[in-house]
Amino acid sequence: MIRWIDVLKFAKYSNPEPPRRLELPEAAWQEQLSPAQFQVLRQKATEPPYRNAYCRSYEPGVYTCAGCGTVLFDSATKYHAISGWPSFTQPAAKNVIRYAFDSSYHMERIEALCNVCGGHLGHVFPDGPEPSGLRYCLNSESLLRLSLG
Ligand SMILES: [Zn+2]
């Protein structure tokens, strides 16, 4: 299980080795993604709270990166954080998320990115429920849910 101390170490020293790497020119991303997906994944935009696809959605399935298709989160770790964005307590695997310090907007935060394609997902905070204590606060536009079975 990933805890806050692990998140800090990943951001400060080195991130886990990704399962694979996908690097595309920004023009290719722009062609492949919807405008809203491109703004979030490649330009680190934040979508409006509540008015997004997965905020209040709890159907079973996995959440993949909208950029590269990597499975990033499982609905079993999704919870209601009253933040207006889909929130999770753990990634689907330790090596699918990359962490970086983000001091934009006069805030000190930890950014969560797809470890395969580098797409911006959202941020991680240490105020989630036990046992991990983590809250991955993500943009719906960075994710695509796949229903299983
Ligand atoms: Zn990705």
The residue extents of the domains of the chain are 4-146
68 is catalytic: no
66 C-alpha to ligand 1 centroid (Å): 7
Its pTM stands at 0.96
What residues are neighbours of ligand 1 (ion), with CB under 5 Å? Answer: 65, 67-68, 114, 116-117, 119
67 C-alpha to ligand 1 centroid (Å): 5
Tokens of 3: 């805890």
H or E stretch at 8: helix 4-12
69 C-alpha to ligand 1 centroid (Å): 6
User: Which of 100, 54, 52, 95 is CA-nearest to residue 72?
Assistant: 95
pLDDT in tens, 21-38: 999 999 999 999 999 999
10 C-alpha to ligand 1 centroid (Å): 18
pLDDT in tens, 87-107: 999 999 999 999 999 999 899
Among candidate residues 68, 114, 117, 137, the one labeled active-site is 137
pLDDT in tens, 34-74: 999 999 999 999 999 999 999 999 899 999 999 999 999 99
CATH code for residues 4-146: 2.170.150.20
